[in-house]
Amino acid sequence: MKIIDLLNQNKITLSCEIFPPKPDVSLDHIHAVIQGISTLCPDFISVTYGAGGSTSKRTLEIAQEVQEEHGIPALAHLTCVASSRIQIDHTLRTLQEHNIKNVLALRGDIPEGHTPTSPWDFQYAYQLIEEIKTHGDFCVGAACYPEGHVECPSKERDIDYLKQKVESGCDFLTSQMFFDNTVFYQFLYRTLAKGIRVPIVAGIMPVTNSSQIRRICQLSGTVLPARFKAIVERFADHPDAMQQAGIAYATEQIIDLIANGVNAIHLYTMNKPEIARKITENLSDILQA
């Protein structure tokens, strides 16, 4: 099933994310993760793609397992920076052969020292979206950043580039994690003002340990609201309490989003089905409302 058809059904959707282990790590654990997340019956499961294609084979294997063994639509991430058109072409053909119809088209983070060598090289995600659309019947998603992408000097310009991705054929957007819903609502207003009309899935990260938070802020420049900082300061040294507080915080964020008409929620599950389970249990009646 195409994700855009799910999102257009005007009902609440909850999706989860899985990331493949590094190539030298066995897939045993990930089978249990897929099984655990599948039992929560998410509307779709996204599978990330290692920088520079380092886990590309595994993205495909996991997406296949999600669809064929668990009957859940898979969203295969695909990055284009530092990949040739031939490699991308091959990956898209392989996805097609395995009936994977949903792709999240990303640029990826630019590897250190990388410079494009030919005008044919991919520099931005919109070029990948255009390429995918020439390959036939894919449903294509792309990333968006409520606080602006870290490399972009202004939020205004970032939205212009987002519009370019949508005009290149992107069917829906999934947001970077955010911890302050007001930031997301303001972003939605800016996209509407720019004429962006595709569904936007809200990305929620349950933060359940303090080292995770440091990494997130370094990588994405995400701002932590005072209320969240207070939780971290108080509970960071108490792992069980931090986990409980992180789950409660993510649950509250989701309830507020749904109450304000945001129907599509994506959980950055970090390969932890037990955390996702606690959140879905907290939302059991809300997700049916």
State the residues that interact with ligand FAD by CB under 6 A: 48-49, 51, 77, 79, 104, 106-109, 124-126, 143, 149, 151-152, 158, 161, 164-165, 174, 176, 203
DSSP state of 121: S
Which residue lies nearer to ligand FAD by CB, 142 or 275? 142
Nearest distance, CB of residue 161 and ligand FAD, angstroms? 4
Is residue 246 classed as helix, strand or coil in its secondary structure?
A: helix
Which residue lies nearer to ligand FAD by CB, 109 or 130? 109
Nearest distance, CB of residue 241 and ligand FAD, angstroms? 29
The residues carrying an active-site annotation are 17
| Burial (CB count <10 Å: 0-12, 13-18, 19+), residue 209 | middle
Give the span between the Cα atoms of 77 and 59, in whole angstroms. Answer: 8
Which residue lies nearer to ligand FAD by CB, 38 or 59? 59
In this structure, is the dihedral angle defined by the CA atoms of residues 138, 107, 89 and 270, taken in order, positive or negative?
Answer: negative
Q: Within 13 Å of residue 30, how many CA atoms lie on the same side as its CB?
A: 20
Give the span between the Cα atoms of 289 and 283, in whole angstroms. Answer: 10
Residue for token digits 């005008």?
Answer: 119
DSSP state of 287: G
CB contact burial 95-123 (16+ within 10 A = b; e otherwise):
beebebbbbbbbbbeeeeeeeeeeeebbe
Which residue lies nearer to ligand FAD by CB, 63 or 247? 63
Nearest distance, CB of residue 188 and ligand FAD, angstroms? 15
- Pair 80, 108: CB distance under 8 Å: yes
- Pair 13, 263: CB distance under 8 Å: yes
Nearest distance, CB of residue 138 and ligand FAD, angstroms? 16
Which residue lies nearer to ligand FAD by CB, 91 or 243? 91
